[in-house]
Structure 1
Amino acid sequence: MPEPARPAALADIDLSDLRFWSGPPGERHEAFARLRAHPPVYFAEPDLAPIPRGPGYHALVRHSDVVAASRLPSVFASEPSAISIPDMPREFNEFFGSMINLDDPRHARVRRVVSRGFTPRMLAKIDGDIARIAARIAAELPAKGDCDFVAEVAAPLPLAVICDMMGIPESRRAMVRENTAIVLAGADAEFLGGDGDAAAHRLLTAGGELAGLLGELAAERRRTPVDDLTSALVNADIDGEALSDQEIGSFFILLAVAGSETTRNAISHGLALLTDHPDQRALWWADFEAHAATAVEEIVRHASPVTWMRRTLTRDHELNGHHYAAGDKALLFYASANRDEAVFTDPDRFDVTRSPNPHVGFGGPGPHYCLGAHLARREITAMFRELHRSAPGIRATGEPRRLVSDFLNGIKTLPCAA
């Protein structure tokens, strides 16, 4: 369908143009503010040859629209894909499908089985692992002097926690780290490189290696179960339901990517925010535990690590006065919703005491609210608690080097000094 005309005030905004996502963050926030004043807006899809270019998508940029669509999964469906604007080849969804790209009843089945792996005993072990790993990372930091905060602090914690949860041996963790970075590389040539065909091949290879690792581990855990999440998943049987090897592999990709990369970016954004807002840092540091919960939520709101998710209309529907047709694509822009003036007072201000804070940094309400939200909160809190104890003077010493991506608000490197 042809792209509908948009107000002249929005003519210079193109959410499908990589240049929009390569510019200063402040310019994007200003553009989203203008979009929120004239919703909804329709955009042509990006050219991702050799993938066929689709008909376009609606940008849902207001908090109320994102929340309303999230609460209507029977209308705003996650199938065929929640994580790509174009309809991707079958091989892509095979490796990256997991439950994030599923609707009920399939989504409910996988989530039910996966949730059973997070028993009280497993969660208690995870809490202990998070505290131990965060304490070690923070204690070693002062001796490192000037260093990259992402590589030395933000990345190691969530990766180690997830690999410990799944029982990934130390010898395979470098491969997991490299491939998760490729999966969420967006359009960043540093990770994908080459033309569209080469990038797609590298992406599928990364997914295949991650899925293959879990296939090997699943077979081993069926023979000899141990006390880890992989054993719980492969041996789960709920009313006759179990996960296939493909579902387990896809879940691991989701856990490794969403649980590792996004938490890493939230922690990285957190240090940048505390450096840029020393008054808020002083307030939090003066009574860490009193402000920890609200500070973590504010970091997630500001960072919005996942910028959007796609939904596809299953039928004609009217939402907040706008008509959507069956088959239409809609992108739920969490990054915009989290700065909606109608919901957040002075939304660009970083306030570690902000409450209430109904952000959608972990997705909107409904069945696709992030399964790992509590884990992410625990990791972010633990990491800053240990930095407060062991490296209270830590600060960013330069600007972050950002990932070129419309999907992930990523930070590749962030110079720091403890």
Structure 2
Amino acid sequence: MDAMTSQVPATTDLADPHFWRLPAPARAAAFAELRRRPAPVYFGDRATGRGFHALVRHADVVEASRTPAVFLSGPGVTTPEPARWVRLLFGDSMVNLDDPRHAQLRRIVSRAFTPRLLARAEEDIRRTAARLVDEVERRRPEDFVAAVAAELPFQVICTMMGIPERPRRAILDQVNHASEHTGVARPLRRRVRMPGRGLLALARMQGMVAAIGRERRRTPADDLITALVTADVDGRRLTGRELGAFFSLLLVAGVETTRNALAHGLHLLTVHPEQRALLLADLDGRLGGAVDEIIRHATPIIQFRRTLAVDHELGGPGGPLLRAGEKVALFFGSANQDETVFPDPDAFDITRTPNPHLGFGGGGPHYCLGAHLARQEMSVLFRELFTRLPEVRSVGEPDLVPSSFDHRIRGLRFTF
């Protein structure tokens, strides 16, 4: 049968940026209604192809993630899709590639993440988390995002890559400029101006890391950039443009998502004191479960797109028919609230088991390379915070950005 095009409530238009300005309970109710429907609903203009089927169930998101020959990433996983000239100029991000090129690049990157490098990263996470908590005690900052949540993943990734201290602030500024308006509705005058600003920020950031890559080829060091530009996998190593594209992905995916998960985590553990008490009573036994439940509940990345390579019946023969060339949007947050997979999905429960959340993607070739690193960063920081500052808590509500792409927190006041 054809995928549904029936009407949904007037407030439920996932293609309308203003939907993402609705209160969180209203958006959650809309997704719950969509999950109850027998087939994905199409949003947008089907005649022009400017629309998508909304995949909102856990099983559907997993199927699309794990069937890469049918659900392509190559045309672009974000909206709008990157223009051809942008991709030629800046290189392709791994998230926008399909096999065999994706597999080749992923092998190069995976080969660079040696056990020695990962062990050194783990030690750096502990050292950086301890330093940040030292500064919190000494300076008593008001914003958890700026003082802690953004700093930890950014400093860890820069150290892992081998980025010198001097350009780090400038790089962080470029990251913020490049990503601050992703998925956010803006007035027309700002829509005209901001894409140029974001591309300029991306160019500057990639220029900085490309220069470091050239230096590492001449003078290798014991860091990830050296490993990436000198790795030889099937006669291939990362070019300067590929290195820049990977670094941009690592910073945006690794910094933005972990930052938001940490901020959401502190707030969730503040507004659910019974869960906080459970965690503090047994940090060793409960911390892993708390991290996974924070990621499920917060789901830092809201959606990615795929493009159908061929006609496909979702769920098997007789399922909803999706046509070649059509788009689907994988709504990870909705999948993580699927009532058929997660009993009482609205509850924040650090003892939830099993917890097959899709906070790092639905599996398949594009499963997040940094999942282990993100879990480490969250575990180490929360252990450091709650061991040394057991009364640490958020104050008031987080300053949320109404984005259709990521579950972003601009700021979160806190105290201890």
Which TM-score bucket, shorter chain as reference? over 0.9
1:188, 1:70 → 2: CA distance?
Answer: 25
Partner of 1:93: 87
Query: Offset of 1:87 from its aligned partner?
Result: 3.3
Flag structure 2 segments of 5+ consecutive residues without an equivalent: none
Query: Offset of 1:197 from its aligned partner?
Result: 2.5
Give the AA of the match of 1:365.
G
Match of 2:33, SS state, is: helix
Query: Offset of 1:383 from its aligned partner?
Result: 0.7
How is 1:351-390 mapped onto 2 (pairs within 5 angstroms)?
351-390=349-388
2:225, 2:81 → 1: CA distance?
Answer: 30
2:218, 2:91 → 1: CA distance?
Answer: 26
Instruction: Flag the 1:339–1:302 CA change in 2: closer, same or farther, 3 A.
Output: same
Say if 1:59 and 1:333, in contact at 8 Å, map to a contact too.
yes
Partner of 2:401: 403
Give the AA of the match of 1:411.
I
Residue 43 (str. 1) matches residue 38 (str. 2): no
Match of 2:263, SS state, is: helix
Give the AA of the match of 1:43.
F
2:85, 2:166 → 1: CA distance?
Answer: 27
Give the AA of the match of 2:148.
V
How is 1:232-247 mapped onto 2 (pairs within 5 angstroms)?
232-247=227-242
Give the AA of the match of 1:90.
R
- RMSD of aligned C-alpha atoms? 1.9
Which moved further from structure 2: 137-146 or 324-333? 137-146
Say if 2:91 and 2:242, in contact at 8 Å, map to a contact too.
no
Partner of 2:247: 252
Give the AA of the match of 1:398.
G
1:279, 1:194 → 2: CA distance?
Answer: 47
Query: Offset of 1:194 from its aligned partner?
Result: 4.3
2:300, 2:151 → 1: CA distance?
Answer: 17
Say if 1:81 and 1:93, in contact at 8 Å, map to a contact too.
no
Say if 2:15 and 2:51, in contact at 8 Å, map to a contact too.
no
1:12, 1:290 → 2: CA distance?
Answer: 43
Match of 2:53, SS state, is: strand
Tell me which of 316, 334, 348 is aligned to 1:350.
348
Partner of 1:14: 13
Say if 2:299 and 2:333, in contact at 8 Å, map to a contact too.
yes
Query: Offset of 1:54 from its aligned partner?
Result: 4.7
Aligned length: 407
Query: Offset of 1:203 from its aligned partner?
Result: 1.4
Partner of 2:178: 183
Deviation sequence 1:228-259 (CA, Å, 0-9, x none): 10000000111211111111100000000000
Say if 1:96 and 1:254, in contact at 8 Å, map to a contact too.
no
Deviation sequence 1:304-348 (CA, Å, 0-9, x none): 000011100001110121101110000000010000001000001
2:258, 2:368 → 1: CA distance?
Answer: 12
Residue 73 (str. 1) matches residue 72 (str. 2): no
Match of 2:306, SS state, is: strand
Q: TM-score, normalised by structure 2?
A: 0.94
Say if 1:141 and 1:391, in contact at 8 Å, map to a contact too.
no
Instruction: Flag the 1:309–1:187 CA change in 2: closer, same or farther, 3 A.
Output: closer
2:369, 2:86 → 1: CA distance?
Answer: 22
Query: Offset of 1:177 from its aligned partner?
Result: 1.4
Match of 1:309, SS state, is: strand
Partner of 1:141: 136
Match of 1:44, SS state, is: strand
Query: Offset of 1:270 from its aligned partner?
Result: 0.1
Partner of 1:417: 415
How is 1:269-280 mapped onto 2 (pairs within 5 angstroms)?
269-280=264-275
1:361, 1:32 → 2: CA distance?
Answer: 17
Instruction: Flag the 1:91–1:289 CA change in 2: closer, same or farther, 3 A.
Output: farther
Partner of 2:191: 196
Give the AA of the match of 1:89.
A
Which moved further from structure 2: 194-203 or 62-71? 194-203
Deviation sequence 1:281-319 (CA, Å, 0-9, x none): 010011101011111000000110000111000011101
Say if 2:183 and 2:405, in contact at 8 Å, map to a contact too.
no
Give the AA of the match of 2:15.
S
Give the AA of the match of 1:31.
A
2:380, 2:188 → 1: CA distance?
Answer: 35
Tell me which of 142, 145, 158 is aligned to 1:163.
158
How is 1:329-348 mapped onto 2 (pairs within 5 angstroms)?
329-348=327-346
Say if 2:160 and 2:223, in contact at 8 Å, map to a contact too.
yes
